[in-house]
Structure 1
């Protein structure tokens, strides 16, 4: 009965995104010559300029939709966690695995997928990621067990890991001129804010109207649109069949991430001194050390360790991990708090999160200008500290807490995160050569996803060992405050202006 409304809403969102892209593409403020703006093969065919503009706008739309799906899949699930728990059970640990099955695989395969895009062609890898996302999303809506959902979420992580680096590579090739590329990447990056702002609201509406299973169907029309555009308009990049893959490094880093996550998530339930948990941490430590050793020996490492000799790079990676520990932990806690403690519905939970998510959509533009004027150090450290202060304000929340206090804390968190992420990206990428930007950005994304995995695992463990959800939530917010403020001080001390 209600199916047309939510699908109309998501279609309208896609159209608005497309209109935004086309607006920027046609904006007369950018006066680059048309010869620099068209793809070489299309220039040779002599396509009309207006048609060429529309073609490039649609290309950017298609690639942006892929990234939008990757991020949307995280934000819509956050408000559906209580409903998933009520239907499939599993407790806090089950909810942790529902979230982290996606992020573990995503983080563990991100660097490998970037290498595969170079080796096989970015278009092939991108289409493969879309097909995986399309099929897995459709299956997710019909699973009947928590184990099945966790498994499909892991498959979705494979698709997400393929989409992110491949879309970046395709955009870079489609917009070879530096000014055009920067503008296209700016639009592509703005999708982060759109998914953060709209995901919880759209997800909440779907959960309340159609049930939690419907949120996974959101990806289906988006994937189909992106797939059609990619097949018809996107050119394949040059392949490098001789590029070697660091398979030993891939196996060890994936093992390390999985083992660390398992130990952190299951330790509270099984027992921190149990043989299973001790073995998990032992495997995690051995795999981590093996990965570092392998990366110093192989000819083409997936993570060149020499990058970390640059202080801005190493501290920026640490800041990226810390901000995602905080953000993922907060996004895990607050929907549970709003729905289980405050009694909010799913869509009201999405609306309640808007003061945090709206700044993520718009403030990065302002932050970029600030960084251009005064450098990355102050915005990055201030953002981490603001996020930590917002987390501290949530540390005493209960069922009677005024929403005015919650509103203030959410605004601090939203502005803090939106100051931090663009600043740390600028600090890292400005410290490496042009030839190293792809590797550095891939490593930064991997560190951020690793932070998201750690955040959910750590918060879940604290909830599991606490006598009540509220006590566990209070302790969790205190821990997040310490981490964020501590790394904020480190960045202010160590980052070059």
Structure 2
């Protein structure tokens, strides 16, 4: 009776590698685009605001469909949703590569965000089915996070090389063979439970419309079109209020009722948005401010991206030993310092050593903070809502990224007109400083993770 498990172990590992490679593909698409911005501007005859939209459309659709993806995974099965996400991501990537103008690229990037949400929402469910025992599952999730987290380090450098070879279109073409490899590795069906849970579509649509209106508001304000920006701001507030009212009465709300008044959990959601805001600001602004080649821009980002890929296991040990709040405080101390040093390095004469130190501090800020956030929200969330907090945390992080790209695009446009280049980094530093103050005042929760066990869910947040 012991033979079947032994025989199935290599197949299980193969499928785990496929799931990790799919998430690697999603993260790679985010990071490689950062160094492609100058080439996009020249090729599509657009400007900073145009490439800003190429980033925000992706994060907007990802943020507004992540929670929906979790519901669909429950109803349709995580394996079905995962396959649909991988196939769609590969096809939409090829469509991006074939886009002949900015509008077509934006449509395809929006589709990429939808399919990325399907992959992210289904991945952990598949791993839980492959590894039902807590011990092996923790190790599997840590390995998955390490493989997928390597995209953060590889993305800018690989993207720079691909752009040097054949322009920005190649960074999307590469996703098609990656998707084919994932489908090959995961061709054997993975059985996952189905739950006939209702889905309320209006809150999801309201979230997407509200994010789009908010992004437009920031863009118009950046261009100093104040009357239209004010009108769009009112529309954004109306959509937010309407979506919240509809969600409260929904049979399947975006926000579970037990989380609505949980201050600690909402504080953690805010931290996630701030960290992603700062990360996206660096990835978006730095290649545009360096005025260098894509390869050099990708190499410059390595002090930050390598730490994001390699440091989470240490963060998991710190959280297991001292609680998840400890590395969160460390991260929010390092991040604003790193952003300020980076801004200083970019002001006036280029200072590569100072820039490297700043990016190193930013990498510490990200790699200490993000992996501990899930542990913190799980410690403070009621047991019946732990499944929802991961999806909401991911969504709020992508909302932070969406706003960051919009603000950075607007402020850098003013830089082109004579404004201060370091403005987006300074804004991000101020937000991280507020995050540090709130982390100092926060209280640790009662951990429900056994001491020493890898915080796999936290690592997955990378």
Question: Which bracket does the TM-score occupy, shorter chain normalised?
Answer: over 0.9
Tell me which residue corresponds to 1:448.
Answer: 397
300-309 or 254-263, larger mean C-alpha shift: 300-309
Q: How does 1:238-253 map to 2 (within 5 A)?
A: 238-240=193-195, 242-253=196-207
Q: Deviations over 1:417-464 (max 9, x none)?
A: 100101212101222355432211011100111111111111112223
Q: Tell me the CA shift for residue 400 of structure 1.
A: 2.4
What's the offset of the Cα at 1:382? 2.0
Assess if the C-alpha contact under 8 Å between 2:34 and 2:156 holds in 1. yes
2: CA distance, partners of 1:293 / 1:48: 50
Asked if 1:226 corresponds to 2:175, the answer is no
The residue that corresponds to 2:278 in the other structure is: 326
Structure 2 distance, partners of 1:164, 1:478, is 31
After TM superposition, list the pairs within 5 Å mapping 1:57-456 onto structure 2: 57-230=13-186, 232-240=187-195, 242-269=196-223, 271-274=225-228, 277-338=229-290, 340=291, 344-396=292-344, 397-398=346-347, 400-456=349-405
Distance 1:347 1:293, change over 3 A: same
Partner of 1:233, secondary structure, is: coil
Contact 1:378–1:492 (Cα < 8 Å) also in 2: no
Structure 2 CA distance, aligned partners of 1:93 and 1:124? 37
Query: Which whole-Å CA distance do the structure 2 matches of 1:308 and 1:364 have between them?
Result: 30
Structure 2 contact 256–385 (Cα < 8 Å) conserved: no
TM-score in terms of structure 2 length:
0.92
Q: Partners of 1:479 and 1:173 in 2: how far apart?
A: 42
Give the deviation of 1:269 after TM superposition.
2.6
- Distance in 2, matches of 1:115 and 1:285, equals 26
* Residues 1:47 and 2:1 aligned together: no
| CA distance 1:305–1:254, shift in 2 (3 Å) | farther
Count of aligned pairs between the two proteins: 444
Question: CA contact under 8 A between 1:364 and 1:418: conserved in structure 2?
Answer: yes
Give the superposition deviation at 1:77: 0.4
Q: Is the 8 A contact 1:356 1:410 kept in 2?
A: yes
Structure 2: tracts of 5 or more residues without a match: 446-462
Provide TM-score, normalisation by structure 1: 0.86
Larger radius of gyration: 1
Worse overlay, 115-124 or 181-190? 181-190
Per-residue CA deviation, residues 190-246 of structure 1 (Å, 9 max, x unaligned), is 24430110000000000011211101012111101111222x223232323x31102
Residues 193 and 358, structure 1, Cα contact 8 Å, conserved in 2? no
Alignment RMSD (CA, Å): 1.8
Cα deviation 1:81-138 (Å, max 9, x = unaligned): 1001011122111011111111110101111111011111111111111111111111
The aligned residue for residue 39 of structure 1 is none
Is contact 1:249–1:291 with CA below 8 Å preserved after alignment? yes
Structure 1 distance, partners of 2:342, 2:74, is 44
- State the shift of 1:305 in Å: 4.5
Cα pair 2:52 2:405 within 8 Å, conserved = yes
User: Contact between 2:258 and 2:382, CA under 8 Å: does it hold in 1?
Assistant: no
Contact 2:319/2:327 (<8 A) preserved: yes
Query: In the alignment, what sits opposite 2:456?
Result: none
